[in-house]
Amino acid sequence: MEQVSEDTLAAARKVIAVHINYPSRAAQRGRTPAQPSYFLKPSSSLSLTGNAVERPAGCELLGYEGEIAIIIGKAARHVDVEDAWSHVAAVTASNDLGVYDLRYADKGSNLRSKGGDGFTPVGPALIPADAVDPAKLRIRTWHNGELVQDDTTEDLLFPFARLVADLSQLLTLEEGDIILTGTPAGASVAVPGDVLEVEVSAADGGLSTGRLTTTVTEGTTAFADFGALPKADDLQREEAYGSREAAGLPAVPSEAGASALSPELKAKLESVCTATLSSQLRKRGLNNVSIDGLTATRPDRKVVGLARTLRYVPNREDLFKTHGGGFNAQKRAIDSVNEGEILVMEARGEKGTGTIGDILALRAQVRGAAAIITDGGVRDFSAVAAMELPTYYSNPHPAVLGRRHIPWDTDITIACGGTTVQPGDIIVADSDGILVIPPAIAEEVADDSIAQEREEVFIAEMVEQGHSVDGLYPLNAEWRAKYEQWEAGKAND
């Protein structure tokens, strides 16, 4: 078979990569796209097998992703899916390398994070497109000799022909162009000294590209201070390694505390009102556990969930330049909130700008968030108020982020609406208000609240019958004995 050569690389005027295409990767990322989405890599990122790739100086997270690359053989423009594969000349192996430390810098374009020299090795051999079934290819990746990715193209979200046809609707795919078709689960992080290998073969064990080999070295040239500088946080580590566990990170508070809000406990808390819960918390000496002064877009909804937190700090223009743009703390919080969680924002009660708008609120709703709580303003208010997702807010305000706030950090202890909220706290909200319940006492508070509301049903019946509340509310010894008889009778009904 023909080998990938310098001429192959020189013929590639465009390198186009697909974000998510394998179901295993979609499951790992927690999102399955309805349509393919793409980004460009410069042709200068291409390299051959056996070459080294530098992890840039100051970077921590050089991610690797084994992929199948398809090479366009003849120009494609406005082609149908049925005809698209005929425009492909060959397939080969590729490694979509990138540094997560610069992911924030280009607002999703991936130019700097995935466009570095040598960040797209391809080869070593080209498998003719007409010699294989594109739905029966196998992709494997080895990290220091250990097999870490192994998947097939049988159940791709977007088959190769669809990618070619889709891209051709807007732009001309030219002879030599390369399309990276997505990576399966198992992609992770390499460090200097590591050896990465990728192989594409027919699923039946026939034709193979051979192993594409890349060695990682350490860059020595520091970044200049007039551009974006590398920075890494735990969210990027989790994304780069594939999971918090793989990255060596502790479980996020919501994961660690998930057992604190079992389905049974959640059902108990949903069955009682916050007024009752508040009285039970007060009996335990907790008087400052309500988030006050906010209005709900959905006052008819009862909300119970675990808190995730986001903190805004007062705007300082020099700091906004480094923390306000790109994949900032606000976007990281929205993009990592999980089903049933409640994103609670500290905005210092500042009403002069928005802390959430329609697009990010929609993203939280799609992620399955139970609610958003902010003691700041809300932009695009009509759209946010029309959503199913309940949002608790101080006031509407048209101003964009950056007028009064910098999104600073996530999953830390914050202050919101006059009380302290920690990640993993249990939030209960209804038309009476919003409460923060420490997970350690939530079960007993729920049980005692249920018991209290049973007593109050009895008390209400007695009041309706004309009895005075003296000694009845709260129950004295005589009335408690009558209540216990009433309760026993209900149990026998």
| Lowest mean pLDDT, pick from 20-34, 252-266, 408-422 | 252-266
Residue 320: what pLDDT?
Answer: 86
pLDDT score, position 6: 95
Q: 119-133, 372-386, 462-476: lowest mean pLDDT where?
A: 462-476
Rounded to whole angstroms, the Cα distance separating 286 from 279 reads: 9
Supply the pLDDT for residue 260: 73
- Spatial separation of the C-alpha atoms in residues 208 and 202, rounded to whole Å: 7
In this model, does residue 41 exceed pLDDT 80? yes
Predicted confidence at residue 492, as pLDDT, reads 66
**pLDDT at residue 493 in the model:** 60
Contact 428, 304 (CB under 8 A): yes
Q: Is the pLDDT of residue 391 over 80?
A: yes
- Residues 204-224 have a mean pLDDT of 94
Q: What's the pLDDT band for 69 if we cut at 50, 70, 90?
A: very high
> Mean per-residue pLDDT for 267-281?
95
What does the mean pLDDT of the chain come to? 92
Tell me the helices (H) and strands (E) count for the chain, helix number first: 15, 29
Q: What average pLDDT does the segment 164-189 reach?
A: 96
Statement: residue 178 has pLDDT above 60: yes
pLDDT of residue 192: 96
For the cut 80, the answer to whether the pLDDT of residue 207 exceeds it is yes
CA end-to-end distance (rounded Å), the chain:
83
Contact assessment for residue 36 and residue 21, using Cβ atoms and an 8 Å cutoff: yes
Q: What are 371's two structure tokens? A: 């609610």
Under a CB-based contact definition with an 8 Å cutoff, are residues 41 and 204 in contact? no
What mean pLDDT comes out for the span 135-161? Answer: 95
pLDDT tens-place string over residues 404-434: 899 999 999 999 999 999 999 999 999 999 9
Ordered domains of the chain (ranges, CATH): 6-241 (3.90.850.10), 253-440 (3.50.30.40), 441-492 (no CATH)
d(CA 218, CA 192): 5
Calculate mean pLDDT across residues 125-145: 96
pLDDT in tens, 93-109: 999 999 999 998 887 78
Over residues 289-348, the pLDDT tens digits come to 999 999 999 999 999 999 999 999 999 988 888 788 777 889 889 988 999 999 999 999
Among candidate residues 310, 311, 302, 366, the one with its CA nearest the CA of residue 339: 366
Q: What is the pLDDT of residue 319?
A: 86
Q: Quick one: what percent of the chain has pLDDT higher than 70?
A: 97
The one-letter amino acid code at 192 reads P
Predicted confidence at residue 470, as pLDDT, reads 92
Residue 233 has pLDDT above 80, yes or no: yes
pLDDT for 466 equals 93
Distance CA 62, CA 54 (A): 9
